[in-house]
Amino acid sequence: MTGRAVLRGAKRVALYTAAAVFTVFAVFPFYWMFLTAFKQNRDLYVGATNLQHVPWIFNDPPTLDHVRLLFFGTPYLVWVKNTALVGLAVVAITLGVAVPAGYSLARLAGRWGERLGIGIFLTYLVPPTLLFIPFARVISLLGLQNKLGALVLVYPTFTIPFCTWLMMGFFRSVPRDLEEQAMIDGYSRLAVIGKVVLPLAVPGMLTVVIFAFTLVLQEFVYALTFISQVERMTLSLGVPVALVRGDVFYWGSLMAACLITSVPIAVVYSSFIDRFIAGLTAGAIKG
């Protein structure tokens, strides 16, 4: 074997090793959730006292007890419905505001557009642990305590800045020539946005939908502050509230909830990933 072939082989091995390491890193949490969700309690907790116990495998046959507790012992499906409702409303509000705002900042505000965009993005960095105090006052003034409406009102305060900034970048990648061409071809600016800009910004809008929905899905602080009744909670709040009872953690059911919630999201993400990457790298001016 020549030196070059050895080098190429070594590079290939290094590449696959790196890929394998990252794969394990990414898959391990899912595997652990899966194990925990279907293990019998004896198998789950015996490791604390028996050091010979192997935690990576099913030592006893798997069980559906934890899943059963989740579905029938807690209002899990109600939380799913609440989360979906809040998520859809927040996504709609976010799109409705972030798309026009992002376009305006990218095109119409001149050199102030960028500074303004960064300014808006900075508000995203103010932590909810700080903001929930004034928000609590606003929510109680509006009489929205313990209602999903409170979350629909508050969540856009962090999804809109981030998504506006995201859309601004996407609109920047649409060549200005295309818009000017369309205006010469006989369209008003509004029609140009509808017929040329938005179709080219679809990957950006998909990204916004997924980001906004994910942010809603994982939000905890505001939900904890504004919602007190279990039937009105979203997943991120309801699951820990109902399945952590004092010192008792229902690990099996907790992990089952995480698994069932995160797998569909992961599938959606991976099926759109090509569009994201296409959206981020396309925009070559000559089409």
List residues near another protein by CB under 8 A: 175, 177-178, 180-188, 191, 196, 199-200, 282, 284-287
CB of 166 or CB of 197, closer to another protein: 197
CB of 197 or CB of 254, closer to another protein: 197
Q: How far is the CB of 110 from another protein (least distance, A)?
A: 12
From CA 246, how far away is CA 223, in angstroms rounded? Answer: 20
CB of 97 or CB of 198, closer to another protein: 198
* Residue 248 structure tokens: 């008792």
CB of 147 or CB of 189, closer to another protein: 189
Q: How far is the CB of 183 from another protein (least distance, A)?
A: 5
Using the 8-state DSSP alphabet, how is residue 57 labeled?
Answer: S
Q: How far is the CB of 66 from another protein (least distance, A)?
A: 48
From CA 153, how far away is CA 190, in angstroms rounded? Answer: 28
Cβ contacts of residue 151 below 8 Å, gap of 6+?
86, 90, 216, 219, 222, 223, 226, 227, 234
Determine the distance from the C-alpha atom of residue 120 to the mean position of all C-alpha atoms in its chain, rounded to a whole number: 20
CB of 55 or CB of 199, closer to another protein: 199
Q: How far is the CB of 207 from another protein (least distance, A)?
A: 17
Q: How far is the CB of 180 from another protein (least distance, A)?
A: 5
* Residue 83 structure tokens: 């989360």
Q: Contact 262/83 with Cβ under 8 angstroms?
A: no
Total Cβ atoms within 10 A of residue 226: 24
